[in-house]
Amino acid sequence: QKEVEQNSGPLSVPEGAIASLNCTYSDRVSQSFFWYRQYSGKSPELIMSIYSNGDKEDGRFTAQLNKASQYVSLLIRDSQPSDSATYLCAVTGNNDMRFGAGTRLTVKP
């Protein structure tokens, strides 16, 4: 079983819709959770971090964490074509960070 799992997609949503990205992890001692966005040919850039159970909102982005279910998600409201990218879920524990394979999101105008 992979340590961090994501649906590879592609996930396609129309402009203005809500995009929902999901991630599960296997290590129960995981402490911190991150969502990175990676445009094609670019490096990953941090969008959100979340450390406690519940929701964390930042603009159009909401991260949700459920440690009991070992599940973290990212919601993007009012999706824009500029949101089209690959979204990487990352989990830290034991002093390192493990990434999921990423979900490719396409927002169609």
Partner 1 sequence: DAGVIQSPRHEVTEMGQEVTLRCKPISGHNSLFWYRQTMMRGLELLIYFNNNVPIDDSGMPEDRFSAKMPNASFSTLKIQPSEPRDSAVYFCASSLQTSGRETQYFGPGTRLLVL
- Give the interface with partner 1 as residue ranges (CB under 8 A): 31-32, 34, 42-46, 49, 51, 88, 90, 92, 95-102
Q: For partner 1, which is the closer residue by CB, 69 or 95? A: 95
Give residues with Cβ within 8 angstroms of 90, minimum separation 6.
Answer: 4, 33, 34, 35, 36, 97, 98, 99, 100
Least Å distance, CB 93 to partner 1, is 9
Nearer to partner 1, 7 or 49 (CB): 49
Q: Which is nearer to partner 1, 32 or 66 (CB)?
A: 32
32 close to 51: Cβ distance less than 8 angstroms: yes
Least separation in angstroms between residue 43's CB and partner 1 is 4
- For residue 9, give the nearest of 19, 1, 24, 17 by alpha carbon: 19
